[in-house]
Amino acid sequence: MVKAWFLSKDFGKKDEVNFCEEELEIASLDDLTKLGIHYYQVPVGDRKSLQKLLNTNGYEIRDVVTISRDKLPNYDEMTQRYYSEHLHPNEEIRYIIDGCGYFDVRNKDERWIRMLGEPGDLLVLPAGIYHRFRVTVDDWIQLMRLFRGGTVWSAHDRNEATEQMEPRREYVQKYIAAH
Ligand SMILES: CSCCC(=O)C(=O)O
Ligand SMILES: [Fe+2]
């Protein structure tokens, strides 16, 4: 199971990284499922199982990126962009190959749930969910970006306009209004 927990309401006012494990308010798989998130585990290197999962779900590999100061061009700009709250009109599908990173998603009460993506985790965030991403103190993650169908990738920072976008409205109807 992917490690996931709720961030406290005053999170960010204190040091983001020096949290104490005992204080974590754990989020369950059900908490994630209710937000439309899908989670799979495929051991890194098990190409057969990965391909089977991709075939079953119609996922295709787009590329592999390494996010680390020495590896990613425009590191400051890109990491800032990833960590700014946004949505996509399509699913965000990520398979972690090496290292780790935090995927934060908003729940229906506007709380952040933080997921620690680790090698072998394949995370699917639904279209229209508000989320953000950052590396951990280790500053190293290698992940595969996947997509489904002929989707054109776009990201939209949260604002009044994103509330009116069709994928957001559909998301709200399906996962927020209904619960
Ligand atoms: C690069 S991994 C995840 C960051 C993100 O939210 C995105 O790419 O849209
Ligand atoms: Fe994203």
Q: What is the CATH number of the domain that holds 54?
A: 2.60.120.10
Who's near 150: CB < 8 A, 6+ residues apart? none
Cβ atoms of 162 and 169 closer than 8 Å: no
**pLDDT tier for residue 158 given thresholds of 50, 70 and 90:** very high
Residue 13 has a pLDDT of 58
Domain that holds residue 29: 3-176
**Which atom of ligand 1 is nearest the CA belonging to 67?**
1
Residues in contact with ligand 1 by the CB-under-6-Å rule are 65, 82, 92, 94, 131, 133, 143, 155
Residue 14: which pLDDT band, with cuts at 50, 70 and 90? Answer: low
- Residue-wise pLDDT tens digits, 50-81: 999 999 999 999 999 999 999 999 999 999 99
Burial 90-101 (b: 16+ CB within 10 A, else e): bbbbbbbbebbb
Are the CB atoms for 37 and 105 separated by under 8 Å?
Answer: yes
Contacts of 26 (CB under 8 A, 6+ apart): 4, 5, 6
**141-148 sheet: strands from edge to edge:** 38-41, 121-125, 92-99, 141-148, 59-67
Nearest Cα residue to 67 out of 75, 59, 57, 55: 75
Note the ipTM here. Answer: 0.96
pTM listed for this prediction? 0.94
Tokens for 71, please give them.
């590896």
| Number of domains observed in the structure of the chain | 1
- Planar angle of CA 154, 177, 35, nearest 5 degrees: 55
Q: What is the pLDDT of residue 21?
A: 54
> If you take atom 3 of ligand 1, which residue's CA is the nearest one?
133
To the question of whether residue 156 is assigned a binding role by annotation, the answer is: no
Report how far ligand 2's centroid is from the alpha carbon of 85 (Å).
Answer: 8
Mean predicted lDDT score pLDDT of the chain: 93
